[in-house]
Amino acid sequence: MGAVRSLVEIFALALTFLILGRILLSWFDASGRTQLSRFLFRATEPILAPVRRVLPPMGMLDLSPMVVIVILTLILQAFRR
């Protein structure tokens, strides 16, 4: 069980950092012209897109990264118990 827990923790933390990186880069490279922006988009979009489809539209505000980070935090807390 310890190995599974560690793997889940690493995956959740890595995904959280990728999402945070995508958020930060979206402020500077909104069009996704750099390789880093394209990598972050490809790495996080499969997780964010389904959440975005479920959330009601909020104009230009995309809350899907925040929802995913909250879900990842809850998963981490559940595995730490």
User: In this model, does residue 30 exceed pLDDT 80?
Assistant: no
User: In this model, does residue 81 exceed pLDDT 80?
Assistant: no
pLDDT in tens, 40-61: 999 999 999 999 999 988 888 8
Domain count, the chain: 1
In sequence order, which residues have a C-beta less than 8 Å from that of residue 20 and are 6 or more positions away? 65, 69
What CA–CA distances, in Å, run from 30 to 23, 33, 40, 76?
Answer: 10, 8, 12, 30
Domain range for residue 11?
Answer: 2-80
The model's pTM = 0.87
What is the length of the chain? 81
Residue 34 dihedral angles phi and psi, to the nearest 5°: -85, 160
In sequence order, which residues have a C-beta less than 8 Å from that of residue 54 and are 6 or more positions away? none
